[in-house]
Amino acid sequence: MLKLRQVCCDSHLIKTDLLEEGMGCPRLMRRRRIWSSFWAYWKTCAQEGRHILVFSQFTSMLGLIFGELERRDVSYVMLTGATQDRVEPVWMFLEGETSVCLISLKVGGVGLNLTAADIVIYYDPWWNPAAESQAADRAWCIGQDKTISAYRLIAKSTVEESIQLLLQKRADLA
């Protein structure tokens, strides 16, 4: 199941010889198109003081995303379980020195208040809705004065979509 989830994000996350060289992933290609299309939007967001949280449960995926950000010369901070000093990147984000924070979902669920954010992107879905909600609460908490827009990237016709449908049915039943 883990490999099925990873391939939904990017084929580079799977360590195997079975994949063809250069094989891509629809979400990675879509992310590149989205980020290319919205390059002017990102600049506008930065000029307007808007901040974006990008969550992923795979730190290797965050590594691929920060590579894209660096190629586009977008400033960012990244918080993962390996981040030794969380104070400096959090302050850089809150003070507007950077407009993008890449954050692993598990780190995002523990004691952070990132109220500068007004856009939340879940690059890959977390199968525990409570943990995902707790991560989003990093942006929407006491002190937030902005409307928050949240986006989930779900690969169509994959295990991700199937699990999301099951989670929705379960939520409707509850």
Which of 147 and 76 is assigned the larger pLDDT? 76
Residue 90, judged by CB atoms within 10 A of its CB (0-12, 13-18, 19+), counts as buried
> What is the per-residue pLDDT across 35-62, written as a single tens digit (0 to 9) for each?
566 566 666 776 777 788 888 888 888 8
CATH number (domain holding residue 46): 3.40.50.300
**Which amino acid, one-letter code, is at 120?**
V
Q: How many domains does the chain have?
A: 1
Residue 10's domain spans which residues? 2-14+23-173
**Cα dist from 2 to 13, 29, 57, 173, whole Å:** 10, 21, 11, 27
What whole-number distance in Å separates Cα of residue 170 and Cα of residue 174? 6
For residue range 78-122, list pLDDT tens digits in order: 998 888 888 899 899 988 888 889 988 767 555 677 888 888 888
Instruction: Mention every residue, 6+ apart, whose C-beta is less than 8 A from residue 104.
Output: 55, 56, 57, 58, 59, 62, 79, 80, 81
Residue 142: the pLDDT is 64
pTM of the predicted structure, to 2 decimals: 0.76
